[in-house]
Chains A and B, each alone.
Chain A
């Protein structure tokens, strides 16, 4: 293995992203979940900066700044406020127990790595092998959305999925056009705000944030 140093750094950040994705998958407390989400955003910022520096793509600096402001500061702050207002701290009941979730997670990672291998053989970017990790992050976030019951952790899963997509974009194609990136950032922000409103409505109607209750909804 004789990769240049910045490619090694990006590989390290990719591994950290995967580690944080697993940590979020197995985390029970919502507060720690939000902190892990912020940490994942921060690793994303660092990896974007390294890609920007090593490939001299100046627009990636802007997207790194955008990620920093939005995913490390603003979104965690909104989520913190939300859970304080809703007074939810715990999300104990997962649908599948933790060791089984972890095993499914490992299977997903193997699947993602296998899926990405033929694609990366044709890629010419400096850090082509990270596409597998980005795919794994997306699938793990999916799994988290499936296994959680409470609406708040499902939304965090959704946001974590966006993290994975963003990482795939920066590592595989050196980032999306600025217009697209701004659009997605705005979408995520507005989405979170609307979800916040939804949380209150769900709780007012069912007196719980457990989306299990939504299944019983029927017309009268």
Chain B
């Protein structure tokens, strides 16, 4: 593998994903608006919001600690690193050996710890309530997420995402029943982790039941912009992990310039499809009570565990 082209690919992927992450969010919101018979704000709306927020003056609470100020940067950094590790455009990037799937889940956990601490920092009741709920969702979602990733790891005999993608993407077509279970479980975790509808409503900050919005109520201007951007990056990262594991076809190898346009086209197609599917799922389902969330995520964990069991029974 050529080192220079590997680095170019890495930079290309990292920059591209950071730039298109708000677009992904805008596309999901636009699809939701269409499905609800509204005209929608357009797919470029998240960029306009970010632009507006970056040009405002930041307001901080009097008793905000330095932790409160650095959290948006840490959050953004974590998510950016995550999209650098996940094979989005190409596999075997220079960053890929830095973290396997377990470390990736740890990276998301790090971001969650900081946003929760920041939510409790100012001491408003909403902030600490949101933080507590976020930690509850997190500790239920993480095992399910790990089990899902382990199913893929068992099939490809590696916990490195790049190896998983290469093994699953470049072999003849085989039906894996265990992967179907893992896919459903992963979808449920994705919805829960990204504050999507059955667990949390992303389009409101006026509800007593909010989770993500409750933690960031105290943020404004560039801090808020970074957090929003990080949230869209997190959504894109999760969708990218899902694509990498369950529909890995069309991804390029590192330094493979000929495969790049195909990989790019495949990526755009998959993201568009995933966004529309996500919007459809959010439209047809209703937000559930917070006390039903353990049941929802318990089901996800059960499905992921079943996937592993079925792998041992049927696919060995």
Contact = CB atoms under 8 A, between A and B. Distances in A.
B181 A19 contact: yes
B315 A15 contact: no
The residue in A11, A103, A106 that gathers the most chain B C-beta atoms within 10 A of its C-beta is A11
B136 to A, nearest CB: 14
Nearest to B294: A99
Interface string A92-113: 0000001100110110011001
A158 to B, nearest CB: 23
Q: Chain B interface secondary structure, helix, strand, loop or mixed?
A: helix
Contacts of B310: 15, 18, 133
B298 interface: yes
B232 interface: no
A105 B180 contact: no
Given A8-B174, A14-B177, A19-B181, A105 B313 contact: no
A1 B316 contact: yes
Contacts of A155: none
Contacts of B312: 113
A98 B298 contact: yes
Interface in A1-46: 1, 8-9, 11-12, 14-16, 18-19, 22, 26
A182 to B, nearest CB: 31
Contact of B306 (A99, A109, A129): A109
Contacts of B294: 99
A106 B175 contact: no
Interface string B277-307: 0000000000000000011001100110110
Contacts of A105: 302
A98 B295 contact: yes
Given A12-B177, A12-B180, A22-B306, A132 B313 contact: yes
A15 B305 CA distance: 13
- Give the bracket for the number of chain A residues in contact with chain B: 20 to 34
Given A19-B306, A22-B306, A102 B299 contact: yes
Contact of A9 (B175, B180, B299): B175
B177 A1 contact: no
A14 B310 CA distance: 10
Given A99-B294, A113-B313, A11 B302 contact: no
Given A9-B175, A22-B306, A15 B181 contact: yes
A22 B302 contact: yes
B148 to A, nearest CB: 15
**Chain B, interface residues (CB within 8 Å), range:** 20 to 34
Contacts of A106: 302, 305-306, 309
Contact of A11 (B177, B295, B303): B177
B208 interface: no
Interface in B43-81: none
A106 B303 CA distance: 9
A99 B314 contact: no
B92 interface: no
Contacts of A18: 306, 310
Contact of B298 (A102, A132, A133): A102
Contacts of B174: 1, 8
Contacts of A130: 314
Interface of A: 1, 8-9, 11-12, 14-16, 18-19, 22, 26, 98-99, 102-103, 105-106, 109-110, 113, 116-117, 129-130, 132-133
21 contacts: A1-B174, A1-B316, A11-B175, A11-B314, A12-B175, A14-B177, A15-B178, A15-B181, A15-B314, A16-B180, A18-B306, A22-B306, A98-B298, A106-B306, A109-B306, A109-B309, A113-B313, A129-B313, A132-B313, A133-B310, A133-B313
